Amino acid sequence: MTTETPTKTFPAPNEASSNSRNLAMLSHLSAFVAFLGVPSLFGPLVVWLLNRDDPYVEAQAKDALNFNISFLLYGLVAAISIILLIGIIALPAVVVTWFVLVIVASVKAANSEDYRYPFTIQFVS
């Protein structure tokens, strides 16, 4: 027994009308709505929803939609990874800085010296 991965089959593009080919192209290019602040998956989604009766456009728009959903997820994972990486680096720096400044302030107070913590927001006045 051999297991074969199913291959994706699109309707033949040479059988598609000029209008179908243009709409199929638009389904891919419509992802550029991302430059207008709209998530890139909405362009292919709209083309797909409006042209589900055309098999070539439907197949191309679905493929574009799946691609853009995938890359949206990859982007979110990358953004979360960056935030976590920055947190992993920044948290120890904050803890060490806090520890050192508490010690410095304690020594200054023991020597009757006035000391102001840097980076402090004056919540209580």
Whether the full predicted model's pTM is greater than 0.85, yes or no, is: no
Looking at the structure of the chain, the number of domains it has is 1
For 56, residues 6+ apart whose C-beta sits below 8 A from its C-beta are 10, 11, 13, 15, 16, 20, 21, 24
Q: How far apart are CA 26 and CA 60, in angstroms?
A: 10
Which among 71, 68, 55 is positioned nearest to 11, based on CA atoms?
55
**DSSP tag of 31:** G
pLDDT band at 5 (very low <50, low <70, confident <90, very high): low
- 75 part of a folded domain: yes
Instruction: Determine the average pLDDT of the residues in 10-26.
Output: 78
- 56 part of a folded domain: yes
Q: Which residue range(s) make up the domain with 44?
A: 13-110
Higher pLDDT: 35 or 8? It is: 35
- 6 part of a folded domain: no
| In 1-125, beta strands by DSSP E | none
